[in-house]
Amino acid sequence: MLAKERAEEVVQLCSSLVKIPSLSGEEQKVANFIKHYAEKIGFDEVKIDELGNVAAIINGSEEGPTVLLDGHIDTVPVQESNWNEHPFSGSVRDGKVFGRGTSDMKGAVSAMLLAASYYASDRNKNFPGKIVVSCSVHEECFEGVATRNVTAQFNPDYVVIGEATNLQLNNGQRGRAEILLETFGKPAHSSNPEAGINAVTKMVTLLSKIQNVEITKHPILGKGILELTDIISSPYPGASVIPSRASVTFDRRLLVNETRESVLEPIQEIINESMKEDPELQAEVSFSSGNESCYTGTIIEAERFFPAWLYDENEPFIQKTFQNLKNVLPETAISHYSFCTNGSHFAGEANIPTVGFGPSLEKLAHIDNEYIEIEQLEKAVIGYISIIDTLANL
């Protein structure tokens, strides 16, 4: 059980953070709030980097590993008319805190900050290494891209992702990529189609073949989904004109060991074969890329390829963390995320041993009338203290 004043503190912090709206790219106010708050609760140093990520650091008295807990501070937008009360009320009632970002994931960020502070103060900072709580920006549409900068600054030995796990210990997740398929034609008046090459009909032929691509599978992570999510032709609208370009986006869920090359290969093969059959066909496949502007003015740019990661249950750092966590939260179990998180960067790209642990349920993210249960928040503080202690002493 968490002491009463500590329980109140985490609820209060969660509510305060929810009251400050922070869409992706607009996290400045909440970042500044966290900086001042962390300085007050005993962090040795709080830095805001050029992307706007906040990092709150506590140094232990002995040499040891850097344990980094990461939670994003951006949220998805709200459609206010669908909410029963103001989405940024942060109101506390019926054992819950309400508002956008409670479950995804200002509740977890509150629990992480306070857990690190309690852990350090309860020991007078007598612990090995350092604890970094990373409150990162731009996760919602760009998983892991902003946190590349966090790794570059702190080079952590272990990472804890705080996205909702219902207090279970997650050892992996599928990754995500956006595949862009384009066909190119030749414009002509549609009253005289023979003079042109129709990029849309070429695309339709390719799509019928791509439907037969065998979906990859993993015994734990599930299917490497390949799902069409949009189709655009140009010019649009196409009044009396043969379209000269068509593009399609696929959402591809990635499994461990899938690479940029292996993911594009089956589609590239279909293009190559189809081009042999149809000399008029011109098509290209790639990963879509994007850029996002940070509240600091910095632009981050990246290809939308966010790799999967998975650690064996018997990996010593997973087992140790799990056994110790079970002592304080007997209901915990080992599981994995069904969505993509910043773990794509920390574990998938940077190969840093990573676990996921957070309050609340995945399904409470991004919904109208989002809330978090106070009991989950309190238990998350207890869980984070246990995880920090295990990883700091490995």
Nearer to Zn ion, 9 or 104 (CB): 104
Nearer to Zn ion, 99 or 187 (CB): 99
State the nearest-atom distance from the C-beta of 182 to Zn ion, in Å.
Answer: 31
Separation of alpha carbons 81 and 91, rounded Å: 18
DSSP assignment letter at 85: S
Nearer to Zn ion, 163 or 373 (CB): 163
Nearer to Zn ion, 179 or 254 (CB): 254
Nearer to Zn ion, 129 or 359 (CB): 359
State the nearest-atom distance from the C-beta of 390 to Zn ion, in Å.
Answer: 24
Query: Which one of 27, 70, 74, 104 is in contact with Zn ion (CB under 5 A)?
Result: 104
The gap from C-alpha 383 to its chain's centroid, in whole angstroms, comes to 21
Evaluate whether 168 touches 374 at the Cβ level (below 8 Å): no
Separation of alpha carbons 350 and 353, rounded Å: 9
Nearer to Zn ion, 51 or 263 (CB): 51
- Enumerate residues 6+ apart whose C-beta is below 8 A from 348: 144, 175, 306, 307, 308, 309
Q: Which of 382, 224, 194, 210 is nearest to 308 (CA)?
A: 224
Look-up: residue for tokens 């869409």?
23
The gap from C-alpha 190 to its chain's centroid, in whole angstroms, comes to 45
Nearer to Zn ion, 267 or 365 (CB): 365
Separation of alpha carbons 24 and 28, rounded Å: 10
Separation of alpha carbons 322 and 309, rounded Å: 18
State the nearest-atom distance from the C-beta of 76 to Zn ion, in Å.
Answer: 9
Nearer to Zn ion, 108 or 246 (CB): 108
Q: Which range touches Zn ion (CB under 5 A), out of 105-113, 236-244, 269-277, 318-326?
A: 105-113
State the nearest-atom distance from the C-beta of 108 to Zn ion, in Å.
Answer: 9
Q: Which range touches Zn ion (CB under 5 A), out of 90-98, 160-168, 238-246, 281-289?
A: 160-168
Which residues make beta-bridge pairs with 245?
A: 184, 234
State the nearest-atom distance from the C-beta of 173 to Zn ion, in Å.
Answer: 12
Exposure of 229 by Cβ count < 10 A (0-12 exposed, 13-18 middle, 19+ buried)?
exposed
Q: Which range touches Zn ion (CB under 5 A), out of 158-166, 249-257, 260-268, 280-288?
A: 158-166
Nearer to Zn ion, 65 or 343 (CB): 343
Evaluate whether 66 touches 156 at the Cβ level (below 8 Å): yes
Q: Which range touches Zn ion (CB under 5 A), out of 44-52, 98-106, 112-120, 293-301?
A: 98-106
70 near Zn ion, rule: CB under 5 A:
no
DSSP assignment letter at 177: E
Look-up: residue for tokens 């900086």?
35
Binding mask 113-152 for Zn ion (x = CB under 5 A): ----------------------------------------
State the nearest-atom distance from the C-beta of 67 to Zn ion, in Å.
Answer: 20
Separation of alpha carbons 202 and 324, rounded Å: 58
**Whose CB is nearest to Zn ion?**
104
Q: Which range touches Zn ion (CB under 5 A), out of 156-164, 217-225, 313-321, 353-361?
A: 156-164
Q: SS3 for 127-170, per residue?
A: CEEEEEEEEECCCCCCCCCCCHHHHHHHCCCEEEECCCCCCCEE
Cis peptide before 105 (omega within 30 of 0): yes
Residues binding Zn ion: number (CB under 5 A): 3
Q: What angle do CA 144, 149, 154 make, to 5 degrees?
A: 110
State the nearest-atom distance from the C-beta of 133 to Zn ion, in Å.
Answer: 16
State the nearest-atom distance from the C-beta of 224 to Zn ion, in Å.
Answer: 22
Q: Which range touches Zn ion (CB under 5 A), out of 85-93, 162-170, 251-259, 295-303?
A: 162-170
Nearer to Zn ion, 198 or 376 (CB): 376
State the nearest-atom distance from the C-beta of 163 to Zn ion, in Å.
Answer: 5
Contact set with Zn ion (CB under 5 A): 104-105, 163
